[in-house]
């Protein structure tokens, strides 16, 4: 089985390292960026199946990453992972704009995230 190709963008180095370790150990092709601007370049170059993205980042934030992925011909599925909490308002807004899923940080279960990633690549 071919594992999904992932790009992960988050300005928190420890968190991005943790994601990178978890998914690379399990055989996923994962590329990570701590800067939104580099992350967008990475998405264009790597053409990932799934993008994992923080919401609040300096410079280019999660909203802009969502806009970019939605404008692409082969849009990767965008999964937000964020500690930002406004009672679900932002979550609802992003899902309406086309985000595939929204996870609260810290992540309660990396296995649950992995399952959603695998589900995302099989959804159209
Ligand atoms: Mg952040």
Q: How far is the CA of 15 from the centre of ligand 1 (A)?
A: 10
Helix ranges (H only) for 74-109 are: 89-96
Q: Which fold has domain 5-122?
A: Rossmann fold (3.40.50)
Q: How far is the CA of 2 from the centre of ligand 1 (A)?
A: 30
Residues 6+ apart with CB under 8 A from 28: 3, 4, 5, 6
Summarize pLDDT for 15-33 with one digit per residue, the tens. Answer: 999 999 999 999 999 999 9
Reply yes or no on whether the pLDDT at 1 is more than 90: no
Q: How far is the CA of 84 from the centre of ligand 1 (A)?
A: 9
Domains of the chain, by residue range, sit at 5-122
Summarize pLDDT for 77-119 with one digit per residue, the tens. Answer: 999 999 998 999 999 999 999 999 999 999 999 999 999 999 9
Q: What DSSP assignment string belongs to 80-110? A: EEE---STTHHHHHHHHTT-SEEEESSPS-H
Please, what is the average pLDDT of the chain?
95
pLDDT interval class at 2 (50, 70, 90)? confident
């Amino acid at each position: 089985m071919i594992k999904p190709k992932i790009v992960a963008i988050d300005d928190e180095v420890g968190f991005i390292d943790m994601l990178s370790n978890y998914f690379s150990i399990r055989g996923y092709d994962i590329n990570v960026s701590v800067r939104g601007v580099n992350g967008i370049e990475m998405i264009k170059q790597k053409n990932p199946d799934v993008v994992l993205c923080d919401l609040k980042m300096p410079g280019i934030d999660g909203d802009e990453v969502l806009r970019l992925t939605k404008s692409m011909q082969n849009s990767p599925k965008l999964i937000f992972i964020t500690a930002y909490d406004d009672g679900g308002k932002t979550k609802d807004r992003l899902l309406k704009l086309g985000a595939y899923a929204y996870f609260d940080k810290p992540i309660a279960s990396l296995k649950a995230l992995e399952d959603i990633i695998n589900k995302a690549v099989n959804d159209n």
